[in-house]
Amino acid sequence: MADDRLDGHIAVLKDLYPHTGKAWIVGITGNPGAGKSTLTDRLVEHWRLKGWRIGVVAVDPTSPFSGGAILGDRIRMQRHFEDPDVFIRSLATRGALGGLSRSASDIVRVLDAWGADVVIIETVGVGQDELEVTRTAHTTVVVMAPGMGDGVQAIKAGIMECADVFAVNKADRDGADATVRDLELMLALGQGVMATSPGHVGAKVSGPAHGAANGSWVPPIVRVVSTQKTGIPELAQRLEDHRAWIRETDEGMRRVAARGREQLHNEIRDALVEAAIRDMGTRIDGLAEQVVRREVDPYTACDAILREFRSKT
Ligand SMILES: Nc1nc2c(ncn2[C@@H]2O[C@H](COP(=O)(O)OP(=O)(O)OP(=O)(O)O)[C@@H](O)[C@H]2O)c(=O)[nH]1
Ligand SMILES: [Mg+2]
């Protein structure tokens, strides 16, 4: 129901909401083919050994670049399909405005209510919608792979900012050291910037101090070879460290509060746009055409829509 946004799904989600809030939400993002699904499969395996119940939401952008990730994800995580304590759901990007991030976060909530200890969201780190999906996560891993033009420069800036942990996957290949070095340099520069901005005075500048340092979090870099399970326990540990940091430190809690606020803003925005389109769709289309013909500027059109919408409600 939540995925298809069927009538009544909001009422169901409202009923489920009191049962949510326990799951830890882990986002896994990175360029196409970086090894996100293979890594997810390994983390599922690792956390299952602890007896955790696990939800996985795999977002397929259905873009020509991803080469049919749904099928790939299914094959890569197939062995967990038989496990009643693992629930895997693939979502396709649809054209709808903000539809992807919203149904992904709704499905995460359903899995949370189901009793998942951890919900993993796998999403390609390209596109605004996909970026927004990672914002619903408490802890985000950015997966990088060497030797596929996948250097630090090739990763979108927005994605870099939402990284809590970096996984340099395919560390069995040449170039992993260079990728780690690039990341370390980037993090050191980032800390330098932070140190000079007010509020961050005294932040550690020298050397990459990974993990929680001086109350703030510096993303650790972990080398992994997902296909060979190398580095998975270390990666899982860093992720769990981050979870402890958000739960136990003031800055971590502030970060969670900020994400919660952002998520509510998104929900309000989506609900408003949806309501406006429902109530005055043809009027909006008409104004859009006028904007295209340059008969009216977009600011005036927006003002007119806002005024009319307010007078209706
Ligand atoms: N050599 C090597 N290959 C790997 C490793 N991890 C994954 N691969 C391979 O890389 C390819 C892509 O892996 P996926 O896990 O599908 O990558 P993905 O990031 O989920 O890809 P999309 O969902 O399509 O964006 C597969 O052929 C994997 O077998 C690794 O650690 N080393
Ligand atoms: Mg994948």
User: Is 127's C-beta closer than 6 angstroms to any atom of ligand 1?
Assistant: no
pLDDT of residue 131: 72
Burial of 148 (0-12, 13-18, 19+ CB in 10 A): middle
Counting ligand 1 atoms within 8 A of each CB, the residue from 38, 57, 123 with the most, and so the one to mutate, is: 38
Q: How far is the CA of 71 from the centre of ligand 2 (A)?
A: 9
- Write the pLDDT tens digit of every residue in 16-65: 999 999 999 999 988 888 899 899 999 999 999 999 999 999 886 554 44
Counting ligand 1 atoms within 8 A of each CB, the residue from 65, 227, 235 with the most, and so the one to mutate, is: 227
- Write the pLDDT tens digit of every residue in 168-185: 999 998 888 888 888 888
Instruction: Measure the CA angle with vertex 112, ends 70 and 218; round to 5°.
Output: 80
Q: How far is the CA of 34 from the centre of ligand 1 (A)?
A: 5
0.75 exceeded by pTM:
yes
Nearest-angstrom CA–CA distance, 62 and 60: 5
With CA atoms as reference, report the closest residue to 167 among 46, 81, 23: 46
Angle between helices 128-135 and 250-292 (to 10 degrees): 150
- Write the pLDDT tens digit of every residue in 102-157: 788 889 999 999 999 999 999 877 666 667 777 788 999 999 988 765 556 656 66
Atom of ligand 1 nearest to the CA of 143: 19
